Chains A and B, each alone.
Chain A
């Protein structure tokens, strides 16, 4: 049998209870189960996590760097979306 390259998996770890899973890196594995096993060994040798997600890199759809402007620029002009945009008098109290 010809050796074939294992697919690439992206690894997400939940660092502590109550936090989101965060992308920590990637690794190769023949299937999802081995990807979890390898992720345990590669990314959680020092209590870095309480839960692991793996997803095939090829399954991820990413925005293109060239789309940065059209995607994100429109929010630049909408400063009123931030609470600090509004001046509320001190005597109103915490809001």
Chain B
């Protein structure tokens, strides 16, 4: 999931009878499946939760470009390079759709950037792992984008209109991302034993961080319960993780790979796989900023922002100059 452990400010989920008439009318619209649009009344908690979730989601798309960008210059063929460029460009687009959705809630994009760069806002834990080989690019498309799709498909039905609509566009493009990743790996497992070993190594390293993307079990979380009552969230973390495992294990088998989980076993009764618990200590450590690449990612983001300042200023100066010229030409003509 690109947004992990989003807080709602709620101490507990209140019933309709406990709400004042305005909030009750709002909740009843959500219960009836209506979309909430930017200028309509909404509880402050709903607005803040959405800002946190959508901005975290946007930051993940933007930071997510970095591990993949690492391989653009080293892609094995020109075709793979063009495909990877298109994918990374899509991620920038996804970030933009999401920042714009968040901006309808009264926060500016520059404020969100500032929160990312100061470390106040988070992005998905998954992007703090390194991309060591070309197989990692395939594994990211297959596993990371696969896990993102699991989370993003239900978000198309989110109660907040601009977020739901951004999700529709994103989901269409994510499908390309996942398929290109799997395509990279299909090619590699048909290659030399060394290439196949490289794919297995990538799966070994990305499997558990991918399962962590959904976040720890949130069955007892008041924030999740509140987000579900607001229809910002539709499924529990465990539900989505189970779906992801059930979908992905057969795909690993097709590639002739071994999923690095000794507890993985088909459970006929539940019609799904039983699987081991991710290392949540590692997860919390990465979230806290101590993952293998946290510092590198944040520094790369800050550097891109700072190094681009002269260019942004130049474009602004040009726009002002043209506007001034137009204004004075108009006066001269009068």
Contacts and interface: CB of A to CB of B under 8 A. Distances in A.
A binds B: yes
Interface of A: 1, 3-6, 8, 25-28, 30-31, 34, 41-42, 45-46, 62, 64-65
Interface of B: 37, 39-41, 86, 89-90, 93, 96-97, 100, 103, 108-110, 165-166, 169, 173, 309, 312-313, 315-319, 322-323
A26 B100 contact: yes
5 contacts: A3-B312, A5-B109, A26-B103, A30-B315, A64-B39
A67 to B, nearest CB: 11
Closest 3 pairs between A and B when the two form their complex, measured CB to CB: A31-B319, A30-B319, A30-B315
A94 B110 CA distance: 59
Nearest to A32: B319
Given A28-B109, A30-B312, A45-B86, 14 more contacts: A3-B312, A3-B316, A5-B109, A5-B110, A8-B103, A25-B100, A27-B100, A30-B315, A31-B315, A34-B315, A45-B90, A45-B93, A46-B173, A65-B39
Contacts, number: 53
A6 B37 contact: no
A27 B100 CA distance: 7
Contacts of B316: 3-4, 6, 30
Contacts of A62: 39
A28 B322 CA distance: 18
A27 B96 CA distance: 7
A30 B93 contact: no
Given A3-B313, A45-B89, A62-B39, A31 B318 contact: yes
B108 A5 contact: yes
A1 B309 CA distance: 10
Nearest to A24: B169
A2 B257 CA distance: 54
A1 to B, nearest CB: 5
Nearest to B111: A5
Contacts of B318: 30-31
A34 B319 contact: yes
B240 to A, nearest CB: 27
A3 B96 contact: no
Contacts of A42: 93, 96-97
Nearest to B166: A25
Nearest to A65: B40
A36 to B, nearest CB: 13
